[in-house]
Amino acid sequence: MRIGYLVNTYPRPSHSFIRREIAALEARGFDIHRMAMRGDAQALSDPADLTEHQRTERVLDAGGKRLLLGLARQAPGQLRTALRLARQRAKAGESSLARQMIYMAEGAYVAARARALDLRHIHAHFGTNSARVAAYARIFGGPPFSFTVHGPEEFDNVLPLDLGGKLALADFCVTVSSYGRSQMYRWAAPGDWPKLRVVHCGLDLARWADPAPLPPGPFHMVAVGRFAEQKGFGLLIRAFALAWRQDPALRLSLVGDGELRGQIESLIAAEGMGQAVTLLGWQDEAGVRAAMNAAHALVTPSFAEGLPVVIMEAMACARPVIATYIAGIPELVRPGQEGWLVPAGDAEALAATMLEAAATPAERLVAMGAAARARVCARHDIAESARLLAECFSRSTG
């Protein structure tokens, strides 16, 4: 079966979960045509991402003239339907009417490409403009579509993004956790609830075999993610400072980068923790794996999440997790078994938990890491996720 995968900007360093999903579907015999509105090759360093960039068709590379001509060629009835939807969505605040017109043109292009390539289905990642473009493509005679909602950004703008309306037009919608499904339940018409499927993001577990033993030396934590407000890295530095003053042997590494890097660097300097906190910058998959292997635990201080893939990766590395008690995280990490959960935004609680983890005997940390690995292997195998998605696509295409 040939299907299209549609993402706004693809690939990105944070989109390895989409790349794994596509590869697992291809291993099941699907022929996947990758499409994105745009690319960002300059942001890529991982060889697998660079290869994926070369395999991805970019809609905007067609040029504005070709996109507008394609839109003008659509059947009058289809154009009227699309324009009516565009005006509704502009009035509701999803975007300006001009931007909705751009989405319409992109949708017309995607529909034409789907016919030319004999794509039986379009699957969009994220409930944002990629899902809207897929919906317009359907109006213009394209194939049935579906989309995956990850959160948290989609759930910050539910009404403008019209997640319920997109679900009404789609064949089905995937959420990556039960929490995500519950948020869709809030905004979807009850008659559309059967369209919702929970399919976890998965790992290629063959690439995470033989986890490294815990390292020697003082207790070392690693945090991985974008330096963005929702990730809570600023609070992490404040919490670490509280813990570090009581136990100066503590160490913390940060993998990532982003708009808050300057703020984080200033906080580290103000606390005099330059020797205790290391900023490793963006890392490819091998670099993230190395950073996790060098640590005793992952710390994820997020204020808002879906279900972070980095937690799955740390657990596959047999590392216990310190995380906030939000969104889908408690579905995977159970307090006292695979790690520790703390209230989001509570620096004192996070600091106390860091100290508790540091005081945990090595054999207990090893046992927690083993439990973490067993749980993620049971729940987040990409082969099983691909099987569930394959069932969804097969039902959609009949």
Paired tokens of 288: 């993230």
Residue 34 makes CB contacts below 8 A (sequence gap 6+) with: 4, 5, 10, 22, 52, 55, 56, 57
Three-state secondary-structure class, residue 339: strand
pLDDT digits (tens, 9 = 90+) for 29-66: 999 999 999 999 998 888 899 999 999 999 999 999 99
Query: What are the residue ranges of helices labelled H in the chain?
Result: 16-27, 47-55, 64-72, 76-92, 97-117, 129-139, 153-156, 158-161, 163-169, 178-187, 233-246, 261-270, 285-293, 309-316, 329-332, 347-359, 362-379, 382-397
What's the pTM? Answer: 0.94
Distance of CA 298 to the CA centre of its chain: 18
pLDDT tens-digit profile, the chain (398 residues): 999 999 999 999 889 899 999 999 999 999 999 999 999 999 888 889 999 999 999 999 999 999 999 999 999 999 999 999 999 999 999 999 999 999 999 999 999 999 999 999 999 999 999 999 999 999 999 999 999 999 898 998 888 899 999 999 999 999 999 999 999 999 999 999 999 999 999 999 999 889 999 999 999 999 999 999 999 999 999 999 999 999 999 999 999 999 999 999 999 999 999 999 999 998 888 899 999 999 999 999 999 999 999 999 999 999 999 999 999 999 999 999 999 999 999 999 999 999 999 999 999 999 999 999 999 999 999 999 999 999 999 998 76
pLDDT digits (tens, 9 = 90+) for 201-217: 999 999 988 999 999 99
Closest of 209, 355, 357 to residue 296, by C-alpha? 357
Whether domain 205-379 has CATH 3.40.50.2000: the reply is yes
pLDDT digits (tens, 9 = 90+) for 290-347: 999 999 999 999 999 999 999 999 999 999 999 999 999 999 999 999 999 999 999 9
Full DSSP string of 236-279: HHHHHHHHHHH-TT-EEEEE---TTHHHHHHHHHHTT-TTTEEE
- Domain-by-domain residue ranges, the chain? 2-202+381-397, 205-379
Task: State the average pLDDT for the chain.
Answer: 96
Fold of the domain spanning 2-202+381-397: Rossmann fold (3.40.50)
What is the spatial distance between Cα 137 and Cα 157, in angstroms, rounded to a whole number?
A: 23
Tokens 């540091």 identify what position? 358
Question: How many CB atoms are located within 10 Å of the residue 343 CB?
Answer: 11
Question: How many CB atoms are located within 10 Å of the residue 283 CB?
Answer: 18
Domains 2-202+381-397 and 205-379 fall in the same CATH topology: yes
Preceding peptide of 11 cis, ω within 30° = yes
Instruction: Indicate the residue type of 57.
Output: E
